[in-house]
Amino acid sequence: PLVTQWVTDIRRVLEGLANLVYKGRLPRVRVVGRGEAGPLAVVAAALEPGVDQVHTHGAPVSVITDEPYEEGPIGTLIPGSLKTIGDLPQWMSLLAPRSLRVVDPVTAGGEPLNLAQARQGLKHTRATYRVLKAEKALVIETGG
C-alpha cells in the first residue's frame, strides 16, 4: 500500500537527517499533515519515536464512512488495520503523551466537523491522553 511506502520514506528522511546533519540524534521534530496527508503524519509519527509533535490541518479523524471513497484518501488506508489497530483515533492514541494538535478536522468524506463532533470522533484519543495524564498535549481546534 502507498501509505507504507510513504511512511518508510518519511522514516528514512528522518534517519538521514539524524545521521548526516545532526550527528545521530535529531532535535525536536514536528510532523505536519494537511488534508489527506494528515493520516500519513499520524501513522509515521506513531511508528517513529523521534517525532515529538504532530499537527494535522483539515485532515480526517476517521477513515470510516458510509459513502464510497473518491480519489485521494484511499492511498492512506492500511489493509486490515481497522481489525488490528483500529481507526485514526486509535492511531492517534499511539502518539500519547506526545503533542498532538488537530486543527479543523473533517469526516472521511471531507465534511468539516464542529468542535463537539471532533471531540466525539476523537473520544478514544482523548481517553488515552487522559489516562496518561497528558490532556494538555492534545489540542483540538475548529473554525466553528
Give 32-73 pLDDT, tens digit per residue.
999 988 998 999 999 888 899 999 999 999 987 777 666 655
Q: Is the pTM of this model over 0.75?
A: yes
Phi and psi at residue 38, to the nearest 5°: -55, -50
Q: What 3-state DSSP class applies to 116? A: helix
The predicted-structure confidence for 89-106, as pLDDT tens digits, reads as follows 999 999 999 999 999 999
Residues 6 or more apart from 7 whose CB is under 8 A from it? 40, 43, 44, 47
Residues 73 and 66: their CA atoms lie apart, in Å, by 14
Residue with cell 485514526: 88
What are the extents of the domains in the chain? 2-141
Angle 26-86-68 (CA atoms, 0-180°, nearest 5)?
A: 110
